[in-house]
Amino acid sequence: MKNNIILDLLYPKHITCNICSNDIFEKENNGICSECQKTLPKIVGQVCFGCGMPIHSIDRYCDLCKKSKPYEMARSCYEYKDNIVTLIHNFKFHNARYLAEDFAKDLYNLYKEKKYDCDIIVPVPMTENRLKFRGYNQAGLLANELAKLLNLPVDEQNLLKVKDTKSQVGLDFSERKNNLLDAFKTKDKKFFKGKKVLIVDDIFTTGATIECCAKALKKGLASEVFAITIAHTVKGFDKKD
Ligand SMILES: [Zn+2]
Ligand SMILES: [Zn+2]
């Protein structure tokens, strides 16, 4: 306990809200106040059984998921719009790493709600070049915080992104998949054998990234692959790389 107090003094947590800039007094939050938390566009109601996108039809699957996918199921906490766009932007590009703890609580709740039951957590990897340039992998931060809450191991060594890819902005699903072709591979061929793997990322856009990671994991003999992300792109908010 004493150590925590000293650490808090050395590294004070962000104390203003990323959305409204008011001071945050709640001990449990780092970067968003409880009032703004309530405004986030949580996904409720019917979603595609495969990718978790909100759908308003009698179909169980969206058009993209009607073909079989290399992962069992993907789910997201929020629609990628409104305040969540600001939060994720700060998290990825403005060094607001402390938001990982806040987001991990949302991911944890979703994991429990969906009754996921995985053996290991794997963040969507970055290439070494990209990691050097960016300084951190936001998916890795999320995976580590979520792993603490779920008491599961994280692995960041055995699923690798081995190819730098062009920005995905403006590309559709098949262009994204082509762009990502052979971008991911597993290192130790036996590491994922028979494991139920949870892929963690910040945004689910077309699902091409998750799909390519899942393919590599299945090639590495993972028995099942699930995915969890903070936000799922909705039409008109296609801004992710
Ligand atoms: Zn606020
Ligand atoms: Zn779908």
SS3 at position 50: coil
Q: Which residues of the chain have a pLDDT value below 50? A: 1, 236-241
Q: What share of the chain is helix, strand, coil (3-state, %, to 5)?
A: 35, 20, 50
226 touches 150 (CB < 8 A): no
Question: What's the CA gap between 73 and 70, in Å, rounded?
Answer: 9
- Separation of 76 CA from ligand 1 center, angstroms? 22
Q: What is the pLDDT of residue 8?
A: 58
End-to-end Cα spacing for the chain? 40
Interval between CA 80 and ligand 1 midpoint (Å): 18
Q: Which ligand is nearest to the CA of 60?
A: 2
Note the ligand closest to the C-alpha atom of 54: 2
Q: What is the 3-state secondary structure (H, E, C) of 132-169?
A: HHHCCCHHHHHHHHHHHHHCCCECCCCEEECCCCCCCC
Q: What pLDDT is recorded for position 203? A: 96
Q: What residue segments make up the domains of the chain, in order of their start?
A: 1-39, 43-233
Cβ-proximal residues to 182 (8 Å cutoff; 6+ apart), any chain: 162, 163
CA 15 to ligand 2 center in whole angstroms? 38
Looking at the DSSP bridge assignments, the partners of residue 121 are: 154, 198
Please report the pLDDT score of residue 67 as a whole number. Answer: 87
DSSP 94: S
- Least distant ligand from the CA of 86: 1
Distance (Å) from CA 82 to ligand 1 centroid: 13
Query: What CATH number labels 43-233?
Result: 3.40.50.2020
Pairing status of strand 224-233 against strand 73-80: parallel
Give me the sign of the Cα torsion angle 86, 92, 94, 98. positive
Q: What is the pLDDT of residue 235?
A: 67
